[in-house]
Structure 1
Amino acid sequence: MTDTTRRAADILAQRLYAAGCRHAFGMPGGEVLTLVDALEEAGITFTLVKHENAGGFIAEGMHHCDGAPAILVATVGPGAMNAVNVVANAHQDRVPMIVLTGCVDEDEALTYTHQVLDHQAVFQPITKGTFCMSAAGAGIVADKAVSIATEPRCGPVHIDVPISVADAPFPEGAPEPVRANASAVAPSGADAARATAAVATAARPVAIVGLDVLRDRSELLLRAFVEQFSIPVITTYKAKGVIPEDHPMCLGAAGLSPLADKHLLPLVAKADVVLCIGYDPIEMRTGWRDAIDPERQTVIDIAAVPNTHYMHQATLNIVAHTGETLERLAQGQRGRVTWDGGTPAEVKRALAAAFPTDDDWGPAAVIAETRAVMPEGTLATADSGAHRILLSQMWRCDEPRSLIQSSGLCTMGCAVPLAMGLKMGEPDRPVVGFTGDAGFLMVAGELATAAELGLAPILVVFVDASLGLIDMKQRQRGLAKRGVDFARHDMAAIGRAFGGHGHSVKSREELRAALKKALRADRFTVIAAEIAAGDYDGRI
């Protein structure tokens, strides 16, 4: 296709290709056929999914592998509305996503009402930006969308593409800008000097590390920094593995577990210097609100954006690249020992005792046995529910982005499609997705997509025929049991019905055998781990 015949949709697709995008997911309607054609012509493979919500999570899984913005395509009206949950999730979980929707042309909408609604009004509060593309502005809109989606903190951007605009010729000489990314910066001046002095003199420092470190690719600098100053590290769930979790300085993850907080929050309270490194408290439960006190502690926020969340307040708020900042704070300083009393090591031992791995059976045994069987380099996903809280404390991560979950929005139905996206992006690595039975039933139809794509993730389903976490909260409040239980369905048979393998297991031995078979399988495997209702009591 020559420059003079390029459509506006081609300009958009080519810009997405230039940003590294190679896959798009969605459910097409007549209004987005030109968009799908343009994506394919640009070298971006379009994959038909069974529901737009799951398609967005598959796209996110791919993003965690290749680093490019995720692409979700939805048609006018109901297609766009099906995408609302996953777009809100991308907004709260800081996932760069380009959401492409078709829409009825403006002139036609003046007298035509079928499926016509204001997509931009719907997506405005759950995206970083929303645009309606014009033919002459296709290049500018495309570049703005990619830039805004990938700027800190990352998130989704929506583009509404009218039917006639997608097909319209791109005007010769219309702008096609490509803005360069901003360079990483280190802090300077008085605040940098105060932070350097605080680190140099800290007797009981603690670091709380979040997702910005991964975006900045500062993992090695972070590890060198905490080793130099003997600083214990707590991570958010999405930052798990930023330091290998068997490292003596790593105290594991925090976010939703009151049992873990029982050991971690007192340590944070004893610290004299708290370094919040790329920390985004959107992942944290209310127990972490005002858990850090700048009146009696030196609290240093090093993040991509200013602290406007007020989950805690800071002594110093350094808006800068995390790695560059840590290098600046470490310059000219010698390493030393902190926490003379050994408290962090005691906390690490207490956490290990709080989440034992030797249960005969139950959700903790399922997690421990799976971790023992799965080889190093395994990628994992988790759905929302009681199992996710337990898994996030027990599952050892040796590298970043090796356990993917919905931490900001905590939405159900994400683990299966996330695992599919990871397997597409890393076909030679083992991938295991953990989901509750309710979350699995939400997206079971997407197993058909896994079969069509020839994907072979392992899907472990915790089968207790209940919304376990909600049931627990219901009982804690002394309420009658209502609306949390459902029938025990044959999840393994569902897997087989969609062309995969399926096993039901009720013991560690049966689980171990099923996992070993699944690792050799050329198709996806559903392993239904039958556990008892109430098995999470006292464990999370």
Structure 2
Amino acid sequence: MKVAQLLIKCLENEGVEYIFGVPGEENIDLMDALLDSKIEFIVTRHETSAAFMAGTYGRLTGKPGVCLATLGPGATNLLTGVANANMDQCPLIAITGQAGLNRQHKISHQYYDLVNIYEPITKWNAQIKTPEIVPEVVRKAYQLANQEKPGATHIDLPEDVAGMEVDEPLLEITGRALPHAEEAIIKKAASLIEGSSYPLILAGNGITRGQASEELRTFVEKTNIPVVHSFMGKGALSWKDEASLLTAGLSGKDYITCGFEQADLIITIGFDMAETPPENWNPERSTPILHIDTEEAEIDSHYPVALNVIGDIKQNITQLMNVLADKKRSLDWVRSIREKALDELESYKQDNEFPVKPQKIISDLRDVLNDEDIAISDVGAHKMWMARMYHTAQPNTCLISNGLASMGVAVPSAIAAKMVFPERNIVAVCGDGSFLMTGAEMETAVRLNLPIIVLLWRDDGYGLIEWHQMKKFERPSHIRFGNPDFVQHAKSFGFEAIKIEKTEELRPALDKAISLKKPVLIDCAVDYRENMKLTEKLRGIRC
């Protein structure tokens, strides 16, 4: 068979269901081979969107998502989405077409050295220079993408190699179990916890990846140690649990700051350093860290590790729970933190001022979605509000990219999420700035008959940047832009579309969007004057 056919056979052997991408001249051998494959190729309207879809597929399934682009501009377009998956620890394999080997030694049409370009934003990448190495390259790319901590790998396939003949067997797939910590380490960890008066857990995305949410919940039930979530760890403990202190991640002060200030031990579990810098929640560098993760901690002066507990998170939590003395602590020291955060959201339920306040949008959205439904936040001011106030009962039901945090991620991610969970309601929460970066994927949603909901927060500008500008300089700079008629724009793609003219219309519009079982866009004007009001409010917090 041809190299391209063998590569597709290797991907089938790995259990790949979909490849997201844009075909090009240099990968036509691969595209032809896909016609005889059970793998479904999802044509996207931009290569960055393809990588966003593959990354979200990887995050939700735990299996590497696969994306494809041609050489040159196709490969460089793909780059942002690949970097996004890599920094968010989402397993992904990127495949790029490439110029033939006979013209890589000189300046050539659309040719760049993609292995060197992709090197900083992947765990591993390689070019297939000879036909015989295809099974090894695919197996290694898949294995490394999936290993903790997961991320992106890259395969570069020159067009002349793709058409060469090859006769190589597929490689056997072998599993790899993570080790667990030694008994002596577990006992030291238990001693640290038992010796602390006010321990606090910071739950990261690694808990979800390690499928350790139930173990965490049992651990908290036994110990009553309160839990703060990172943006990407939301839902590890249900927001309904009295021990949940909801979400941390704003760069300034918030209610949860008081919890961190009083804590005498911070237990980070599955925490990825890229999510939120420790200087935000351990500014004095004085609170020791018990680091429970699959890898040793990144070196950071604000992250003074007292002990590393490395290995399978699920097993290590269970081992730790088994050796801890029975001591159910009082939550009184953090009770007011939780109450203030929940009261803040509750106070906006009946607010009917227009444009709609961020708190009200989130209140209505939370009310209409079930616990298992998925809200996906794009990047912008709305992301900060969603992180603070959209509370979750299950892992991976509020997806926030907080590593690379690329704008434009929500609509492509909603498409991938709907493919993985067709029975759930999927809502892409977008700003008008981020939406138009990948909004052409509305056509993809319609073509694939995927009834996603796009909840558009419209403020005619880059609201998050304005927020930062106002905090530092008290005046905005070059953040305004014009917008199309979003209702007509969405309808031209085949979406149903609803424009909110007064606040009382939002909740019924969300209910209608869910009932239609069709792709729907809701155009909602947002009152971002609340951004600076929140800043002033948080400045006044006294612990």
TM-score (norm 1): 0.93
Contact persistence 2:45–2:444 (CA under 8 A): yes
Q: Deviations over 1:283-339 (max 9, x none)?
A: 11575264474x5x4421011111124151200112211111111212244432224
1:179 Cα deviation after fit: 5.3
Match of 2:162 among 162, 166, 169: 166
Letter in 2 for 1:364: Q
Mapped partners of 1:392, 1:88: distance in 2? 22
Out of 247, 259, 270, which is 2:262 matched to?
Answer: 270
Give 1:135's match in structure 2, choosing from 131, 137, 144: 131
The answer to whether the 8 Å contact 1:472/1:534 transfers is no
Match for 2:219 among 211, 221, 225? 225
3-state DSSP of counterpart to 1:199: helix
| Counterpart position of 1:3 | none
Q: How many residues align?
A: 528
- Aligned counterpart in structure 2 of residue 150 of structure 1, from 143, 146, 151: 146
Matched, 1:496 2:491: yes
Residue 447 of structure 2 is aligned to residue 445 of structure 1: no
Percent of pairs with identical residues = 27
Q: Secondary structure at the match of 1:472?
A: helix
Out of 250, 272, 276, the position equivalent to 1:280 is 272
Equivalent residues in 2 for 1:58-77 (5 A)? 58-77=53-72
Structure-2 separation of matches of 1:47 and 1:345 = 48
What amino acid maps onto 1:188 in structure 2?
E
- Of 189, 195, 209, the residue aligned with 1:195 is 189
Q: Aligned partners of 2:14 and 2:197: how far apart in 1?
A: 45
Cα displacement (A) at 1:238: 1.1
Alignment partner, residue 322 of structure 1: 313
Matched letter for residue 476 of structure 2: K
Query: What SS class does the counterpart of residue 414 from structure 2 fall into?
Result: helix
In structure 1, distance between residues paired with 2:215 and 2:35: 39
Contact 2:358 2:527 in 1 (8 A): no
Cα shift readout 1:16-38 (whole Å, capped 9, x = no counterpart): 23333201111100111222333
CA distance in 2, matches of 1:280, 1:109: 38
Distance in 2, matches of 1:378 and 1:452, equals 22
CA contact (8 A) 1:269 1:291 kept: no
Which of 394, 402, 424 is the aligned partner of 2:389? 394
Deviations 1:335-386 (A, max 9, x none): 322246x012111012223444333331211111121123342111001111
| Counterpart secondary structure, 2:327 | coil
**Distance across 2 between alignment mates of 1:317 and 1:137:** 38
Distance 1:410 1:339 in 2: 37
Residue equivalent to 2:532: 537
CA RMSD of aligned residues (A): 2.0
In the alignment, structure 1 residue 186 sits paired with structure 2 residue 176? no
Equivalent position SS for 2:289 = strand
Residue 189 of structure 1, CA deviation:
4.9
Instruction: Tell me which amino acid in the other structure corresponds to 1:29.
Output: G
Structure-2 change in CA distance of 1:146 and 1:263 (3 Å): same
Indicate if the aligned counterparts of 2:260 and 2:282 stay in contact, CA closer than 8 A: no
Secondary structure at the counterpart of residue 534 of structure 2: coil
Distance 1:286 1:465, change over 3 A: farther
Match of residue 538 from structure 2: none
Is the 8 Å Cα contact of residues 57 and 417 (structure 2) preserved in structure 1?
yes
Mapped partners of 1:441, 1:130: distance in 2: 31
Aligned to 2:510, which of 504, 512, 515? Answer: 515
**Matching residue's letter, 1:383:** D
Task: Tell me which moved more, 101-110 or 403-412.
Answer: 101-110
Distance in 2 between residues matched to 1:516 and 1:350, nearest whole Å:
28
| TM-score scaled by length of structure 2 | 0.92
1:93-152 per-residue CA deviation (whole Å, 9 max, x = no partner) reads 111110000111212333561111111111111111110013100011011101111111
CA distance in 2, matches of 1:185, 1:48: 40
Where in structure 2 are there 5+ consecutive unaligned residues? 536-543
CA offset digits 1:210-261 (Å, max 9, x no partner) = 1111121111111111111111001111111111111111111111363xx4
CA distance in 1, matches of 2:183, 2:114: 46
Q: Is the 8 A contact 1:152 1:304 kept in 2?
A: yes
Aligned equivalents of 2:175 and 2:122: distance in 1?
20
